[in-house]
Amino acid sequence: MIDPRELLTDAGFRPQGDVTRMPGYDASVWRVSTESGVVAVRVLPADRDISHEVEMQQLAAGLGVPAPEVLRSGAYLGHPYTVTSWLPGRPLGELLAHGLSVRQGGELLGRAMAALHEPLHGGSVLCHLDFQPFNVLVTGDEITGIVDWSNARLGDARQDIAWTLVVMRLAPALMPGLADAVEPFLAAFRAGYAASRELPADDELRPFVLAAAQQQIDDWAPRIASGAAPQAVGAAARAALDAWREP
């Protein structure tokens, strides 16, 4: 088990006070107070490469996206890690669970993605490809942070939109209480995006949604087979695939 205090000391920081373990699916994440301020420590499994994530996060910050600043990256005890600035705000998913309206939450997510999709040289955009409520930080009505850049790529905005449209349909399989909220949330997400940037028509989105749904099926299959994820996740991904097939 990696001690984030020891990692930070090895990386040249001076940890002080509180260390809080944060939620994380494929990474271990801590909030740690140091002599120079609060930082986030993110540690990946030993077989992962963190260099691309660091590159995308630095690109995002350079474009004015509210991404954490990478203060240090490297390997500790064979595990790749980053130390980044700690951004203010609470995850949008957490706020939704504590009473934020589905409409407001969806619009915030759509607005944040539209801001991210400023065209770059050549017409590509920065695609986050894990753009969901627990990766967007909010204070009041302001998006104050976008975290977890491990899947990010330069590409077509429709890839990013499609990923969110699919992954939100998987949410009730993991959190059954969200079943009634998914459709109004996605409607608000679309409205929030369209308020700032042209939203592609469904016919344009279809091949990207089909690819995203198939990717979710493939990614979840080994976890479902091992018992680490419920069968309902795979069923939801297949339902999303079927719903977007040609009429």
Percentage with pLDDT > 90 across the chain: 82
Average pLDDT for residues 109-124, to the nearest whole number?
A: 93
In this structure, are residues 124 and 117 in contact, taking their beta carbons and an 8 Å threshold?
no
CA neighbor of 170 nearest in space, from 246, 100, 239, 247: 239
Read off the amino acid at residue 114: A
pTM of the model: 0.91
Model confidence at 176: pLDDT above 90: no
For each of the domains in the chain, give its residue range(s) and CATH number, in order of start: 4-85 (3.30.200.20), 90-243 (3.90.1200.10)
In this structure, are residues 72 and 12 in contact, taking their beta carbons and an 8 Å threshold?
yes
CA neighbor of 137 nearest in space, from 92, 71, 176, 79: 92
Model confidence at 178: pLDDT above 80: no
pLDDT 10s digits, 201-246: 999 999 999 999 999 999 999 999 999 889 999 999 999 999 999 7
